[in-house]
Chain A
């Protein structure tokens, strides 16, 4: 039996996407589901922006596991270049091969083609995603693209529009199955317009209280409902305070797990202060927290200095 080349994605309706996310414990709202469906329909990458810790990377992870396909991740950093993103030759092996061939005159003639063959090639994430043969397309996560420098963005343009990569010694590889590409950015700098134009855009915001409680209940097994309520209330209150780094959903989940692990049944001001390090990561922010009216915070009233 051969796998069909043209893979039909399973999302006929937006509700199908929602059901899939739901089955994998990811609480997705309508905009995300619709954008995901359109990304598959139109074959365009999704650009997810939002504050740190709102679940951007998680979208890719959940999609990969839901579609049962490999997640290929390219973590961006300053100075990321083609040899770390595309491919690299295995120099140690090449040199070894050359030395071995020196002893054998017959092998020398074919050496040139041999050492630049596929056996000597290290595939890096982008090439791996292009060469992935299916049956289902890989999910390619290009994480924190804003950390890479602008040269790299320009370099991505070609790959994201044509889905092909040229290795001069070997030829051009075209994608058999176009990967589902998800780019994330913390918006620490504006991305290139040309790159944005190729993507579907979605801003992921901090969740609504009801949604946040649902996320906590889903992601932290054994979480009592009233404790989840309390965590949600505190987190929503904290996000309204002018901290240097406002806590995201990731922090809410960490805190919920911490409270559960400490077997704390009810959140009181002392508990908030003792465990503040789970939620706030700046000393100034923690100092600020200690000055807030924590009783008001626990009751869900607005607090700010």
Chain B
């Protein structure tokens, strides 16, 4: 069965639109779309959409994006099938958009407009200007951090002369050399692997002064420990792990600016931790995670909310490291209510506003995590 010409054109248009919207539409996938077209009843309105979607989408976000795209293309509402409204509901529930707009502590520091939506583009933070190429490199401190964090036994094994376990597979293979006498036993030991690090950085207005340090640290740690994940928060949370994996700093900064529209916004630490608790920290091996929070602790939410979420987070991670740049910068005591509430849950509190101070602190610790 061959699809009619107008359908082919239309499908191609949709594929192109999907690719432009950022869906992973490779040539192979597009071909699969056409193979699928021949197998379905494309007169059925939903089947056509679903056949395209199942081939083109690679995540839930992609699915939603594609449905919107499809609806726009045909100028009609997408048929509501089961479950979608719950998703929509939960999206609303998690997006505490207006939280943190009236942040007392930040009012003088927040220079940019705090509205969302259409004005987002205007709020695109110029991160390139905040990157200080002359800052002393953090390589040393990151190496130190990475060294301390890289000591976790893996479930996988590797051959080792003085290993603790006998590797029967290699022993038997090796015995062939000796006329099938088990002369020497091959041994294995457990590999060590790097601890998983989840970094949660405060990029609200009050942290603007430390942006250069923050960006350097995030970029450096992500490059050194590939398996770590980096998220930034103000009133929303965005994961920027993928952006930080780019090789060049310029490219990274551009991508982060494009992705994080809430840079220099208000702060909602509790909500950010809550999102972590329900998302990233849920992972299989999360109990061996070290959570690094970089924040000044100025928060406009309820301190009790922070306490509640921290208590939950602490049960899912191995240790919590809190880097507070504000402390090193001036002489004040614990004034931020959010910070005060969080302190009992923090395992390693590192007041440092630049690489040197942080290095001194990290070296002083026997072991992080």
Given known pairs A89-B169, A98-B182, A206-B86, the reply for A188 and B36 (CB within 8 Å) is no
CB pair A284 B308 closer than 8 Å = yes
Chain B residues contacting A49 (CB-CB under 8 Å) are: 59-60
Chain B residues contacting A112 (CB-CB under 8 Å) are: 176, 180
Asked whether B247 is an interface residue with its Cβ less than 8 Å from the other chain, the reply is no
CB pair A193 B58 closer than 8 Å = yes
CB pair B59 A201 closer than 8 Å = yes
Q: How far is the CB of A248 from chain B (nearest CB, A)?
A: 12
Given known pairs A98-B182, A193-B24, A201-B63, the reply for A284 and B39 (CB within 8 Å) is no
Given known pairs A35-B50, A78-B285, A208-B83, the reply for A41 and B182 (CB within 8 Å) is no
Write the chain A residue with the least CB distance to B80. A208
Given known pairs A79-B156, A188-B284, the reply for A108 and B179 (CB within 8 Å) is yes
B-contacting 9-mer, from A125-133, A225-233, A236-244, A260-268: A236-244
CB pair B26 A197 closer than 8 Å = yes
- C-alpha gap A236/B284 in the complex (Å): 27
CB pair A203 B172 closer than 8 Å = no
Write the chain A residue with the least CB distance to B191. A79
CB pair A83 B312 closer than 8 Å = no
Chain A residues contacting B41 (CB-CB under 8 Å) are: 13-14
Write the chain A residue with the least CB distance to B81. A29
Given known pairs A108-B179, A115-B172, A187-B60, the reply for A205 and B82 (CB within 8 Å) is yes
- C-alpha gap A34/B51 in the complex (Å): 7
Chain B residues contacting A98 (CB-CB under 8 Å) are: 175, 180-182
Asked whether B46 is an interface residue with its Cβ less than 8 Å from the other chain, the reply is yes
- The residues in A between 39 and 68 inclusive whose CB is less than 8 angstroms from any CB of B are 41-42, 44, 49
Give the size range of B's interface with the partner.
35 or more
Asked whether B57 is an interface residue with its Cβ less than 8 Å from the other chain, the reply is yes
Chain A residues contacting B156 (CB-CB under 8 Å) are: 79, 81, 149, 151
Q: How far is the CB of A146 from chain B (nearest CB, A)?
A: 7
CB pair A35 B54 closer than 8 Å = yes
Chain B residues contacting A189 (CB-CB under 8 Å) are: 283
CB pair B40 A34 closer than 8 Å = yes
Q: How far is the CB of A54 from chain B (nearest CB, A)?
A: 9
Q: Residues on B close to A: CB < 8 A?
A: 24, 26, 28-29, 32, 35-36, 39-41, 44, 46-47, 50-51, 53-55, 57-60, 62-63, 81-87, 89-90, 93-94, 154-156, 168-169, 171-172, 175-176, 179-182, 274, 277-278, 282-285, 308, 312
Give 7 closest A-B pairs by Cβ, nearest first. Answer: A79-B155, A205-B83, A208-B82, A91-B168, A188-B283, A196-B58, A203-B60
Q: Residues on A close to B: CB < 8 A?
A: 13-14, 29-31, 34-35, 37-38, 41-42, 44, 49, 77-79, 81, 83, 88-89, 91, 94-95, 98, 101-102, 108, 111-112, 115, 144, 146-147, 149, 151, 187-190, 193, 196-197, 200-203, 205-208, 210-211, 236, 239-240, 242, 244, 284, 304
